[in-house]
Structure 1
Amino acid sequence: MIRTYFSDPTAWQRLHAGPLSPYIDPFEQHLSDQGYAAVTVVDKLRVVAKLSRWLERHQLSVDALGEQQVGAFLRELHQRERRTYHGDPATLQSLLEQLRCSGILARPLTPVDESLEARLERDYAQYLHNERGLSDATLRIYLPFIRDFLLTCIDQGSLDLEQLCIRDVTNFVLNQAPKLGPARAQLMVTALRSFLLFLQQRGYLRVPLAAAVPTVAHWRLSTVPKYLEPEQVDRLLQHCDQSTVAGQRDYTMLLLLARLGLRAGDLVHACLDDIDWHRGLLTVRGKGNRADQLPLPVDVGEALAKYLHDGRPSCTTRRVFVRMKAPHVGFASSVAIDSMMRRALKRANLEPACKGAHLLRHSLATRMLRQGASLVEIGQLLRHRLPQTTEIYAKIDRDTLIALAQQWPGGVA
């Protein structure tokens, strides 16, 4: 296939010069599998060929290739050609990764940070995982807070845990909490309290400090869920241009959010194997490694089938929803789904207070409640673990709340 990109035999021979010549063809296949356009593949192969000839001039073998050599090559290339292609570093990093995955290059040893704060963070992560049984997702939430706390406790380049006091703890919380929302601030104080208990158990603290962590006020059911009216949801869907590949993908994702109340993360991790076309079921792998099966409504199934048949790029990933631009891989996080939701709201000229993907989840629950569904039924569809999680939607049912209102002494209800 690579010859189709280079009709000139001389150019094709120059492409296969140097120590990297045996790996040019596999790399080209890798780029094609990821969905890169032909002109982009050519540009990427040319920079790899230049690196190969650079290695040959410097009498370096492939075994000597690494980030340091790539950096030196790019600096010399920039000085010689007086130009910078922003995609070159990413191309060569992708080449290194492929050579390492193939076993041609050894993975570099990551230097281990032996500072006290780094060791404490590693030990705490191991404690949370092995002794507390917390998931990797929880660790990704807790550890950045702990890292920030330890950095604030470093005095003149060193960390002295015996000198920690209540003031250090309260100052950290008071400085960080205003920068966070109430829910995230609560996660921060929970992580800090857990970490201080860990330090106390390991004998690092002279006095117990966990009880000194301030609490963050965030009362349950204190807010009303933000939602769209049914006609606004329809308007949101209608403004997706299904004649384009990206529009068909976005329409399918929005429909899943609106009809099944999925979370953004559910869309990110949805795989082709989760769809049971014969029984019309979708397996949703949500929080806490739970796997629930939801029925596929007709319109959702039709949109999903059309996207997979006509719109989804040809790629090797098993993710249902993938990037439109190469590399064609699944989304890295739910941030991409929230960004898609904001773009859709802008196209429909809607300006709700909340613009994340969760807005459609709240909208579905509100619509079901108004149509007579019970809180139990809503909780089952939304896959809530606890009934208390669904209770917040009771505040939206104003007619029922009015009927429950007590008459004010000496006045009307």
Structure 2
Amino acid sequence: MDVFQTNSSIVLKYLSENNANPTVYCLTHSCLSKLGKFLHDTSISYSLDVAKEWLSQLSLCANTIQTYGKAIRQLDDVYKYGHVSFANRIHSMILSGQFSGAVSDYLSDISGKYSKKHLPNIRIRCKYFLEYMQVEHQHSEICEITYTDVLSFHATALKRLSKADYGMYKGTIANFLRWLSEKGACPIGFSMLLFMNHAEKVFMLRDFSNGTALYISAVGASCLMDFSPEEFYTASLDFCMELESLGYADTMKTTARTALDLLYLFLDMNRLGYDPKLVNEWFHEKGDFCFKKNKYMARRIFALFEVFTKEGTIITTHYFTYRPLLCDGLPDWCRRTLDQFLLQKERENLAASTVCMYRSSITRFCFFIVDNGISSFSEITPELLKRFNISDIHSTPEGKNAYNVRIRKFLFYLADNCYTDNYFLGNALPCVHAPSTKIVKTLTPDESYALENYMDEDYSIGLRNQAIALIGLKMGLRGSDITELTFEQIDWRLGAIRFIQKKTSVERVLPMPVEVGNALYRYITEGRPDSKSKYVFIVHKAPYGRVKRNICRRIIQKVFPEGRDDGYGFHITRKTYATERFRNHVGYTEVAYLIGHTTDETVKKYISLDEERMRLCPISLSESGITMKGGFRNA
């Protein structure tokens, strides 16, 4: 009973200190006295269920029963928390000096923005938030409030309000907290937490698995001084402003703001610095829950932001892939050596696709040796390489040779770096592909006409694709040079295009046929989106970056869908152009120049056989030394 009396005194003291209505105070005192007498007479210990059962047996008016019920709830709060909770507080309470001053200053600052009738409503809502902090967390100063306190307020005090009050209170309090943050009294994240529709997507470190939490904590703590949450927030605002200026769709902009806000809140709540490795771990564990169907868009946003932090601008031409690499499944001793070898190839300025081919080839070989019980490169033998070569199946000899060449270089690398002492080990992999010559595939006159006059269903895209096709067909440019064509490379006065070939770095000046010039003019004036990009051919949706080379192949596939597996790539336009020049009696050297070759040694790859003139100089089989005797059907 001593505990009961003590806790009853705390409830009555709370009512007295907060100027409770005298009737309420008297009824509360009466309730606690009668309940205490009942417990004493029956020798029953206090519990909420006992108190409710006792209350249900009383015959009192409705208002008295209601006040008695609240008194019991207040008493139960003291048993549980040591004080009366915010949910059971009385309607009016005195705020601390700083809390009261903050509300008054805020109302004074915004008095010109709202009517006099609305200001009391704002006071009530702001006071509601501060009363919760004072009652539930015993805070008396703004600086004492934490993210955990704001989350608790959102999950309890706000959620108890009606649907109409919830929205009004939430918006008013969020604006109040934003004002406080501008004064430097609290983080901007407090306001963001309330403005956000899904506060359950905001996580603390304790919400992650142990291993992830430890890694994130270590990485975030190490870079806190280099890239603080405050610096991250400022950079995120600049990033979103640039997204706006580039004309991105509303979905992209909204997702970007949400994604970066969630990440900022996570960093600031846990006092972690920004690091892409940290973001990857955070996204890997919580990305599905936070973004659902917009997960891949959010991941691209984080990748663009990473580049933005390094370059100071959004580079729209960057494409990001996230497919897990097969080599990640290799043992550490194997994967580390492979990574070092690939790094060397990157330093040799090899193309990314070439490095990728090295990775694919060597990964296949490494999985074979691991599956055969090898635990060190020094254990590789010629017999093992022979078995690998027999078991490694490819659809063509060219494909098998392409893999063997790269694996052979890796084996030489192992010897050079003392992973194995047999320098000639690579020679155990044979060359299985001899040079071959193929008949050059070109477009027929009807096919050329179809390509020249093809128009896509989308008129503006159709104009773009038609101009690209005509440049390839009438000027013989590679797809890589067409897609990188800029306005300054076109000389409209001279009717020529001056450019540096991407493949050979050789400058070329080529005459621009009238039909090409007309197609370019129509596209630029009628079809091209309004963009400041220096490139002529751009994608037709924000951010209007340069088209990629694969658009050229897609144009051919749209016109000749049945020829996809029959040599109908965009290069066929270049071969057709060279062949037509040759048939019009242009010499090898001139054709080589027109298609951008420095010598005429390889121009034969681009020139189809001239059947009409070949028939003018036939050679008999006997003169050529070819006999019809022998063979399968001849003795």
> TM-score, normalising length from structure 2?
0.51
Instruction: Determine which of 568, 571, 575 is the counterpart of 1:355.
Output: 568
What CA deviation, in whole Å up to 9, does each residue of 1:31-90 have, x standing for no partner?
A: 23433234553454355455556666x455674873334455545536xxxx54343333
Q: Secondary structure in 1 aligned to 2:451?
A: helix
Distance 2:274 2:356 in 1: 35
Larger radius of gyration: 2
Aligned pair 1:85/2:303, yes or no? Answer: no
- Report how far residue 310 of structure 1 moved: 4.0
Aligned AA (1:98): F
Aligned AA (1:377): E
Q: Percent identity?
A: 19
- Report how far residue 357 of structure 1 moved: 0.7
Distance 1:307 1:375, change over 3 A: same
Equivalent position of 1:259 in the other structure: 474
Aligned AA (2:503): K
Conservation of the 8 A alpha-carbon contact between 1:275 and 1:282:
yes
Distance 1:59 1:237 in 2: 61
- Report how far residue 229 of structure 1 moved: 1.1
Aligned pair 1:152/2:365, yes or no? Answer: no
Aligned pair 1:30/2:242, yes or no? Answer: yes
The CA RMSD over aligned residues, in Å, is 4.2
Q: Secondary structure in 2 aligned to 1:325?
A: coil
What CA deviation, in whole Å up to 9, does each residue of 1:194-220 have, x standing for no partner?
A: 333344444434251333332233433
Instruction: Determine which of 99, 108, 119 is the counterpart of 2:337.
Output: 119
Q: How many residues align?
A: 384
- Report how far residue 260 of structure 1 moved: 1.7
- Report how far residue 283 of structure 1 moved: 0.6
Q: Secondary structure in 2 aligned to 1:253?
A: helix
Q: Which runs of 5+ in 1 are unaligned?
A: 1-9, 104-110
Equivalent position of 1:335 in the other structure: 550
Q: Secondary structure in 2 aligned to 1:405?
A: coil
What CA deviation, in whole Å up to 9, does each residue of 1:148-204 have, x standing for no partner?
A: 33343335786522322334434444555624x555544433333333334444443
Distance 1:158 1:60, change over 3 A: farther
Conservation of the 8 A alpha-carbon contact between 2:539 and 2:545:
yes
Conservation of the 8 A alpha-carbon contact between 2:537 and 2:546:
yes
Conservation of the 8 A alpha-carbon contact between 2:341 and 2:413:
no
Aligned AA (2:253): V
Instruction: Determine which of 377, 380, 385 is the counterpart of 1:164.
Output: 380
Distance 1:30 1:185, change over 3 A: farther
Conservation of the 8 A alpha-carbon contact between 2:361 and 2:403:
yes
Distance 1:383 1:186, change over 3 A: farther
Equivalent position of 1:300 in the other structure: 516
Structure 1 stretch displaced more, 153-162 or 370-379: 153-162
Aligned pair 1:323/2:539, yes or no? Answer: yes
Conservation of the 8 A alpha-carbon contact between 2:267 and 2:274:
no
Equivalent position of 1:3 in the other structure: none
Equivalent position of 1:194 in the other structure: 409
Distance 2:244 2:311 in 1: 17
Instruction: Determine which of 590, 612, 616 is the counterpart of 1:377.
Output: 590
Distance 2:599 2:300 in 1: 45
Conservation of the 8 A alpha-carbon contact between 2:441 and 2:608:
no
Q: Secondary structure in 1 aligned to 2:294?
A: coil
Equivalent position of 1:107 in the other structure: none
Q: Secondary structure in 2 aligned to 1:294?
A: strand
> TM-score, normalising length from structure 1?
0.74
Aligned pair 1:178/2:390, yes or no? Answer: no
Conservation of the 8 A alpha-carbon contact between 1:322 and 1:329:
yes
Aligned AA (1:220): S
Conservation of the 8 A alpha-carbon contact between 1:170 and 1:213:
yes
Distance 1:157 1:266 in 2: 49
Distance 1:21 1:412 in 2: 82
- Report how far residue 252 of structure 1 moved: 1.5
Distance 1:24 1:128 in 2: 32
Aligned AA (1:337): C
Q: Which runs of 5+ in 2 are unaligned?
A: 1-170, 179-187, 193-229, 314-327, 629-635
